[in-house]
Structure 1
Amino acid sequence: MKGEETIDELRDYDLRLVQPRHGYRFSLDPLLLCEFAGVKDGERGVDLGTGCGVIPLVMARRAAHVEFVGVEHQQVMAGIAERNVLLNGLCEQVTILEEDVGRVRAHFPVSSFDLVTANPPYRRRGTGRISPRAGRDLARHESTAGLADFLAAAKYLVKPTGRICFISHPSRLVEFFTLATDLKLAPLRLRMVHGHGDADARMFMAELAKGRKGELKALPPLFVRDGGRHCGEEIKNVNGGSER
């Protein structure tokens, strides 16, 4: 509704995004994940817990003939994501599915996608601060689906030749790799994200694969800021010329 929403720009991707003014709003994290995961011409991807649809929309701009599905269980956010697809003229490339992550098997055959991305809720149910703003807690805290459900869905959806890329909070890192091992998902890449050089990691990004072996490669840390200033071209590229 007018007055309760904003329209923000990612100029380098030629995107305009409707977002709730006071509810959940995407941050740098999904943009970091887009850069980490990458996408190739003609790939088909799915984003679990897509929110306003920022990851599918960015991915559709990053390479030619990309098709992406955004899965979102919150009715309001799924509606906003659908409007963002229309707003940016990407109906032929991006589809929004209003569904719980735990029920995606009913909609897609096994091994349907080249890439699965997820920026799932960081906090377990009943932990952390409660936000006074409606919608934020559903995005930050697990509700109907937990980390195990996101990983199980990702395994089902990804092709053996494909890749799974997640971004999450460092407090979930051990749990993440334990769950991945239980699901026989091979860790391929790990990158820690820091606010600046003296700060503890604030996020991690990881790539997993199904049905094949690999050695984990720990990438250099990513520093978002250095002395209060953005670090170099890498973060500039991630931001996509955002105006928010």
Structure 2
Amino acid sequence: MTGQAEQDTQTAPSTTETHLLGGRVSLRQPAKGYRAGMDAALLAASVAPKAGERVIEAGCGAGAVLMQIALRHPQVSVTGLERDPFAYELAVHNAQANNVADRAHIIHGDVANRFKALNLPTFDWAVSNPPYFDDPNTIRAPAEERRGAWIADHGLKAWTEFLVKSVREGGKIVIVHRADRLADILSLLAPKAGSFAIRPVHSFADEPAKRVLVQATKTGKAPLRLLPPLVLHPRTGPKHTPEAEAILRGEADLAF
């Protein structure tokens, strides 16, 4: 992630240290493989929990989203589920390094095993940036260290089912994903969730949206809302638009 005076410095042979939210978050993450970027910032900015509420992230990786939520909302507790052992250890480290270990619970587990297996009470918010592809044959094979972040071995359905099961009635679900999977996301969530709010995310104002942020409410019945788009980059000038830059620095949110 750029545009927020961040610097990467080598901390170990296999990791680097990155600073997010204008330096408020210190994130140790893999030097190779999946690295947190704009999607993590957008997802974290789309969560608006009240004091005392609980947030779970499915597939938390090294904890980029969780750490940003925890720093944005000091009176909220966060839980992350991560199946990759290395990413899990990094998330545990990052919770300690950012002084939020007392309200950040990292679990080593897989969404495919279902929420019930965690033996946890339901949450107020469930968020995720699921892997973007279900079928490895549809894309050029990613490097092995990136595979888990790119390929959903059990399909998008496993992720949406986990998210729905993990929240209470009236709880919120937030997903960032490819824009061309929007219909799939809505159809998978619709049996148990509604009151959809959709925000298209455009790289440039004159290009189609490549990402969407989708918020749903468990058992919600309100009409679908299509929100104003977020444009990330201008054609000339700074790297990011003022709105995107403010989100990266933690100075603005993406309230639904």
Pick aligned residue for 2:189 from 172, 177, 180: 180
**Paired residue secondary structure (2:215):** strand
The answer on 1:156 being equivalent to 2:165 is yes
**Rounded Cα–Cα distance in structure 2 between residues aligned with 1:13 and 1:152:** 35
Post-superposition Cα deviations, 1:96-115, rounded to whole Å, max 9, x if no partner, equal 101001223111345x1110
Are 2:89 and 1:60 equivalent residues in the alignment?
A: no
AA matched with 2:147: D
Q: Give the secondary-structure state (helix, strand or coil) at the position aligned to 2:89.
A: helix
Conserved 8 A contact 1:30-1:54: yes
In the alignment, what sits opposite 2:235? 227
**2:119 — aligned with what?**
108
Question: Does the 8 Å contact 2:21/2:248 carry over to 1?
Answer: no
Partner of 1:146: 155
Q: 2:141 aligns with which of 122, 130, 133?
A: 130
Separation (CA, whole Å) in 2 of partners of 1:190 and 1:147: 18
Unaligned runs of 5+ in 1: none
How far did residue 16 of structure 1 move? 0.6
Equivalent of residue 201 in structure 1, options 193, 209, 214: 209
Local SS of the residue matching 1:163? strand
Q: Deviations over 1:157-196 (max 9, x none)?
A: 1111210000000121111111112x33104200110001
Q: Secondary structure at the match of 1:226?
A: coil
User: Residue 244 of structure 2 aligns to a residue in which SS?
Assistant: helix
Contact preservation (8 Å) 1:39, 1:59: no
1: CA distance between counterparts of 2:161 and 2:207? 32
SS at match of 1:65: coil
Matched, 1:240 2:249: yes
CA positional deviation for 1:226: 1.3
CA-to-aligned-CA distance 1:201-220 (integer Å, 9 cap, x gap): 11001011112311111001
Distance in 2, Cα, partners of 1:51 & 1:101: 13
Q: Give the equivalent residue in structure 2 for 1:212.
A: 220
Q: Does 1:28 align with 2:38?
A: yes
| 8 Å CA contact 2:142, 2:150 repeated in 1 | no
SS at match of 2:12: coil
Deviation at 1:11, TM superposition (A): 4.5
Task: Tell whether 2:116 aligns with 1:96.
Answer: no
1:85 aligns with 2:95: yes
| Equivalent AA in structure 1 for residue 105 of structure 2 | T
SS at match of 1:91: coil
- Identical counterparts, % of pairs: 27
Partner of 1:45 in structure 2? 55
Deviations 1:121-150 (CA, angstroms, capped at 9, x unpaired): 011122222223x3212101112x321111
CA distance in 2, matches of 1:157, 1:131: 30
> What's the RMSD between the two structures over aligned residues?
1.6
